[in-house]
């Protein structure tokens, strides 16, 4: 302790001391889960008050407005948001997280109702504006603090598919007898919109692999809506029970179908006629006839359909997926009679030939819609030349789309888009993004498909355009 | 004459957390929320019914400024009148006095008092002593950590008897704390351990031993007060606040140079004399059925008994030695286990009022006194020398 004298007060001492103020801060269970979710899942979660519908971020245990206990009401919010206010820190101090000058911004994340404070970097201070879109950059090394979001940066400007589609002319079909000839000649019509399908669930993708795979009707509706928003015109659905098992129960499938239609009335729903392992032909078909979706899958050959370790070749699950000629014929007839457009699933060239052979009975109406499926253990792996061979074998007016299991997904859809075909993505086929990170949901893969279309200059089909192209009528 | 009231005020709801040194699972508002939820449940009310929230804790102990604002998530004070009070160790008792006054005045019908402390987060000594400079007349403050009472009792009654009285008191408190599910510390001590404890417990200041000292606890307490009309409507067993008194005296408290010519611990005596005189209570020892005393250490507790009840000679020691202060005795003191049992400081003095009120209601739980409790007394202590005393009654008949 020392003393000093101030000028003009020579008769008075000022005693100088120093305070040590160590302290500990307790985040509580709610605050801790907020941090660990950011740390482990790179996901930002808030809590939603069921009484006043406010989504709080950061989350809190109690809604301060109505005193509702909301500690269990977790909801996902987006990693992107809007700057609602900001300040420029212009002095350096030990407790500050960055060297001055830097920006502390109040950011309202998309999906949250309250703003929270974080560092805004990767842009000039003069460029920071209230209302600017920003996105979270997660820290490479965790500190178990809010700095597990390292900072926010300006979000890449992304104009939505729907905004683009609203400004362009709607595609109209032109009667072009030689579509197939042009394709074969390497001159596909790149002005034709590309239909993006999201296969939301499949029968085998489970929540323990990826939590965003939908089980309940409400989850399907939410996922379908996100995919539609991102640019998908169609969703492919294997309905599930609450516990995750694929179901053939009409009531559950209908509930799932209706929930999607309620949330997202425009989207085309393609129901599976495969359903899942061990289902009988009757179980597989009767639900299609009962619900009459606009589109349903039609599988074309009996084949191995198992689970095999891709590295060691070890067989985990051995299963024969039965699709006899009689079944293909009966399924195809029943679909066409009920106004359900078949999506003809070809796991190899033989399947395509099977469909063509049965098709001589005059079952299928034009245009026929094919889906080339790659990478099933039991079907063919993706090869560019196989793709071209299959495309060249199509009937004149046929459309084709494609999907690939696992790492086949993005290469095969890109090839399809180049060749004038359509694209299917989704967690049924692949749970990852091109960089190997888990996808946040099927919608994030739809965003990749949209980027592919944008880069190739192909418009993304609206739901109306998709119906025109595939020859289906809206229900 | 008791101080004038526009209308009577009753306690209609009580909530307490379990007091503990380890509450890593909650932040400050979440801890408070536990007590508030319990008190609302106890009173069968919701936050909508509360007109005013009175918030209190020790300043600086958790290193948070304006905690009443930050704690709204736990206090439920959003959109309500909210007042923060901090008077040191007595803050909990002052919360009770303020709530009584706010309700009695007619300003609010239902007032919620919340006392809280999360000592695990802060730095108590930082809050108390960092700005002390005894050589410049800013006298050092170590909170309740002083050996002067021990010295005093020891000199008057001899080391052996003084030590045994202090440890007897301490073990009675431990036995009481063992019955109270919310108590922080209950070691399961027994009277045959007195000699061992005298020998083995580390000495802190003079004869003040670690075992005789209160704990540092995390915890919160919430008490709901209502005007007579509302209290009778809402509660089957409102506990009436008869009177309260606050006395303080700052300037003579010093731990060095203790001098019998300048006795310092006299605010308790003065407060008790005034309170009992103006309420016409001639024999407080017989009048009261229970006393929840703010006892930061057993030495102070045994010494203060004499001040509170104006006892002569060694009467206060005999009360302890004969275990008359135990549950079942003549005047049970701290059936809750007292401050030695649990000490979340901002809540501690409010817990005294709450525990006394629970005894009057007769639903304190395992530590309920078996005989009827009609008149209860609670005290608060803090600062350099603050006293707050509160009288509670079962019936509105004084």
Contact A31 B27 (CB under 8 A): yes
pLDDT band at B375 (very low <50, low <70, confident <90, very high): very high
Residue of B48, B64, B78 best to disrupt the A interface, most CBs of A under 10 A? B78
Give the span between the Cα atoms of A112 and A56, in whole angstroms.
6
- Which residue from A1, A24, A27 is facing B120, i.e. has the nearest CB? A24
Q: Does position B255 have pLDDT exceeding 80, yes or no?
A: no
Is B226 part of a structural domain of the chain?
Answer: yes
The DSSP 8-state label assigned to residue B119 in this structure reads T
Question: What pLDDT, on a 0 to 100 scale, did the predictor assign at position A5?
Answer: 80
- Which residue from A23, A25, A62 is facing B33, i.e. has the nearest CB? A62
Contact B26 A22 (CB under 8 A): no
Domain residues for B26?
9-125+215-234
Residue of A2, A23, A114 best to disrupt the B interface, most CBs of B under 10 A? A23
Contact B123 A28 (CB under 8 A): no
Is B56 part of a structural domain of the chain?
Answer: yes
- Which residue from A1, A23, A65 is facing B121, i.e. has the nearest CB? A23
Contact A62 B76 (CB under 8 A): yes
The dihedrals phi and psi of B232, each to the nearest 5 degrees, come to -70, -35
Q: Does position B256 have pLDDT exceeding 50, yes or no?
A: no
Residue of B73, B117, B218 best to disrupt the A interface, most CBs of A under 10 A? B73
End-to-end Cα, chain A, rounded Å: 85
On whether the CB atoms of residues A444 and A437 are closer than 8 A, the answer is no
ipTM over 0.85: no
Spans of chain A below 50 pLDDT: none
Q: What six digits make up the tokens of A270?
A: 């393609």
Question: What pLDDT, on a 0 to 100 scale, did the predictor assign at position A101?
Answer: 94
- Token match 């603090």: residue? A145
| Secondary structure (3-state) at A205 | coil
Contact B131 A17 (CB under 8 A): yes
Is B289 part of a structural domain of the chain?
Answer: no
Is B281 part of a structural domain of the chain?
Answer: no
pLDDT tens, residue by residue, B121-165:
887 777 676 666 666 666 655 556 677 788 889 999 999 999 999
- Rounded to 5 degrees, what angle do the CA atoms A271, A272, A274 make? 165
H helices present in chain B, as ranges: 28-43, 67-70, 72-75, 91-104, 124-128, 148-157, 159-179, 194-200, 228-234, 267-278, 284-287, 298-309, 315-321, 338-341, 345-361
Nearest CA-CA distance, residue B162 and chain A, Å? 38
Question: What pLDDT, on a 0 to 100 scale, did the predictor assign at position A233?
Answer: 97
pLDDT tens, residue by residue, B295-319:
999 999 999 999 999 999 999 999 9
Q: How many residues does chain B have?
A: 398
CA nearest A152: which of A120, A128, A115? A120
Contact B46 A27 (CB under 8 A): no
User: How far is residue B139 from each of residues A21, B61, B134, B205, measured CA to CA in Å?
Assistant: 20, 19, 4, 17
Nearest CA-CA distance, residue B126 and chain A, Å? 6
Contacts of B25 in chain A (CB under 8 A): 28-29
| Secondary structure (3-state) at A45 | strand
pLDDT tens, residue by residue, A98-139:
999 999 999 999 999 999 999 999 999 999 999 999 999 999
Is B29 part of a structural domain of the chain?
Answer: yes
| Interaxial angle between packed helices A281-291 and A325-337, expressed in degrees from 0 to 180 and rounded to the nearest 10 | 10
Is B94 part of a structural domain of the chain?
Answer: yes
Mean predicted lDDT score pLDDT of chain B: 91
Q: Which residue of B has its CA nearest to A24?
A: B121
The enclosing domain of B19 has a CATH number of 3.40.47.10
| Secondary structure (3-state) at B155 | helix
On whether the CB atoms of residues B391 and B243 are closer than 8 A, the answer is yes
Contacts of B27 in chain A (CB under 8 A): 25-28, 31
Give the span between the Cα atoms of B253 and B383, in whole angstroms.
10
Q: What six digits make up the tokens of A275?
A: 């359903």
Domain count, chain B: 1
Cβ pairs A/B, distance under 8 A: 71
Give the span between the Cα atoms of A444 and B209, in whole angstroms.
66
Contact B30 A28 (CB under 8 A): yes
Contacts of A15 in chain B (CB under 8 A): 133, 136
The residue ranges of DSSP E strands in A6-78, in sequence order, are 13-16, 44-48, 55-56, 74-77
Contact A28 B26 (CB under 8 A): yes
Q: Which domains does chain A have, with CATH numbers?
A: 31-154 (no CATH), 167-470 (3.20.20.70)
Q: Which residue of A has its CA nearest to B130?
A: A19
Is B107 part of a structural domain of the chain?
Answer: yes
- Token match 């695990």: residue? B120
Give the span between the Cα atoms of B222 and B38, in whole angstroms.
8
Q: Which residues of B23-47 are buried (b: 16+ CB within 10 A; e: fewer)?
A: beebbbbbbbbbbbbbbbebbebeb
Is B362 part of a structural domain of the chain?
Answer: no
Q: How many residues does chain A have?
A: 475
Phi/psi region, residue A428 (left: phi>0; alpha: psi -120 to 50; beta: rest), is alpha
Question: What pLDDT, on a 0 to 100 scale, did the predictor assign at position A128?
Answer: 94
CA nearest A194: which of A433, A389, A465, A474? A465
Give the span between the Cα atoms of B217 and B92, in whole angstroms.
14
Q: How far is CA A430 from the centre of its chain?
A: 11
Interface residues of A toward B, Cβ cutoff 8 Å, are: 1, 15, 17, 19-31, 60-62, 64-65, 67, 69
- Containing A39, the helix (H) or strand (E) segment is helix A28-41
- Which residue from A19, A23, A30 is facing B130, i.e. has the nearest CB? A19
């Amino acid at each position: 302790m020392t003393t000093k004298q101030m000028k003009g007060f020579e008769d008075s001492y000022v005693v100088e001391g120093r305070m040590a103020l160590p302290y500990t801060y307790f985040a509580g269970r709610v605050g801790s889960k907020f941090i660990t979710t950011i740390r482990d899942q790179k996901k930002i979660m808030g809590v939603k008050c069921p009484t006043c519908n406010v989504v709080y971020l950061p989350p809190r245990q109690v809604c301060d407005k109505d005193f509702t206990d909301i500690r269990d009401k977790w909801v996902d919010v987006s990693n992107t948001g809007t700057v609602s206010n900001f300040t420029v820190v212009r002095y350096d101090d030990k407790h500050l997280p960055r060297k001055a000058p830097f920006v502390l911004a109040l950011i309202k994340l998309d999906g949250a109702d309250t703003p929270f404070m974080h560092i805004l970097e990767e842009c000039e201070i003069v460029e920071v504006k209230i209302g600017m879109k920003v996105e979270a950059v997660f820290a490479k090394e965790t500190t178990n603090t809010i700095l597990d979001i390292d900072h926010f940066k300006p979000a890449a400007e992304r104009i939505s598919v729907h905004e683009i589609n609203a400004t362009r002319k709607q595609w109209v079909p032109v009667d072009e007898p030689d579509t197939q000839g042009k394709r074969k000649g390497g001159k596909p019509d790149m002005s034709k919109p590309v239909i993006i399908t999201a296969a939301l669930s499949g029968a085998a993708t489970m929540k323990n692999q990826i939590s965003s795979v939908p089980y309940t009707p409400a989850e399907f509706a939410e996922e379908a809506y996100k995919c539609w928003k991102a640019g998908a015109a169609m969703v492919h659905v294997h309905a599930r029970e609450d516990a995750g098992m694929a179901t053939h129960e009409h009531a559950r499938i209908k509930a799932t179908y209706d929930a999607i239609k309620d949330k997202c009335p425009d989207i085309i729903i393609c129901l599976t006629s495969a359903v899942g392992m061990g289902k009988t032909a009757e179980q597989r078909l009767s639900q299609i006839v009962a619900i009459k979706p606009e589109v349903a899958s039609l599988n074309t050959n009996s084949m191995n359909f198992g689970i095999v370790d891709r590295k060691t070749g070890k067989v985990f699950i051995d299963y024969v997926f039965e699709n006899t000629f009689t079944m293909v014929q009966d399924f195809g007839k029943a679909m066409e009679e009920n106004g359900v457009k078949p999506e003809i699933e070809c796991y190899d060239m033989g399947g395509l030939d099977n469909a063509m052979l049965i098709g001589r009975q005059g079952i299928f109406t034009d245009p026929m819609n094919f889906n080339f499926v790659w990478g099933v253990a039991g079907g063919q792996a993706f090869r560019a030349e196989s793709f071209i061979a299959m495309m060249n074998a199509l009937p004149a007016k046929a459309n084709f789309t494609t999907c690939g299991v696992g790492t086949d997904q993005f290469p095969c859809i890109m090839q399809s888009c180049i060749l004038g075909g359509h694209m299917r993505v989704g967690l049924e086929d692949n749970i990852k993004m091109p960089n190997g990170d888990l996808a946040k949901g099927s919608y994030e893969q739809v965003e990749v498909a949209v980027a592919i279309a944008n880069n190739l200059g192909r418009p993304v089909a609206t739901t109306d355009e998709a119906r025109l192209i595939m020859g289906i009528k809206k229900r | 004459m008791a101080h004038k009231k526009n209308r009577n005020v009753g306690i209609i709801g009580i909530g307490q957390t379990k007091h503990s040194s380890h509450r890593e699972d909650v932040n400050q508002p979440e801890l408070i929320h536990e007590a508030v939820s319990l008190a609302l449940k106890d009173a069968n009310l919701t936050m909508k019914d509360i007109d005013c929230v009175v918030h209190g804790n020790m300043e600086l102990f958790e290193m948070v400024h304006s905690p009443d604002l930050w704690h709204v998530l736990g206090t439920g004070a959003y959109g309500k009148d909210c007042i923060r009070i901090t008077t040191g160790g007595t803050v909990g008792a002052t919360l009770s006095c303020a709530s009584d006054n706010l309700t009695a005045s007619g300003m609010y019908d239902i007032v919620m008092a919340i006392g809280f402390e999360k000592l695990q987060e802060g730095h108590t000594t930082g809050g108390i002593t960092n700005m002390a400079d005894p050589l410049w007349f800013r006298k050092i403050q170590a909170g309740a950590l002083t050996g002067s009472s021990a010295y005093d009792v020891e000199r008057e009654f001899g080391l052996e008897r003084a030590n045994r009285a202090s440890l007897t008191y301490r073990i009675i408190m431990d036995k009481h704390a063992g019955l109270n599910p919310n108590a922080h510390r209950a070691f399961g001590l027994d009277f045959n351990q007195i000699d061992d404890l005298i020998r083995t417990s580390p000495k802190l200041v003079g004869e003040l031993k670690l075992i005789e000292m209160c704990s540092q606890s995390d915890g919160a307490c919430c008490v709901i007060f209502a005007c007579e009309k509302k209290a009778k409507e809402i509660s089957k067993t409102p506990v009436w606040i008869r009177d309260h008194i606050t006395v303080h005296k700052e300037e003579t408290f010093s731990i060095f140079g203790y001098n019998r010519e300048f006795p310092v611990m006299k605010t308790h005596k003065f407060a008790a004399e005034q309170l009992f005189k103006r309420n016409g209570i001639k024999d407080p020892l017989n009048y009261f059925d229970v006393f929840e005393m703010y006892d930061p250490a057993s030495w102070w507790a045994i010494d203060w008994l004499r001040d509170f009840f104006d006892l002569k000679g060694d009467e206060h020691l005999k009360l302890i030695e004969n275990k008359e202060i135990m549950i079942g005795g003549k005047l049970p003191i701290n059936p809750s286990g007292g401050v030695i049992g649990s000490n979340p400081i901002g809540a501690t003095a409010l817990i005294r009022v709450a525990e006394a009120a629970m005894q009057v209601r007769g639903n304190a739980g395992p530590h309920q006194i078996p005989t009827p409790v009609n008149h209860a007394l609670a005290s608060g202590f803090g600062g350099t020398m603050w006293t707050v005393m509160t009288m509670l009654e079962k019936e509105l008949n004084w």
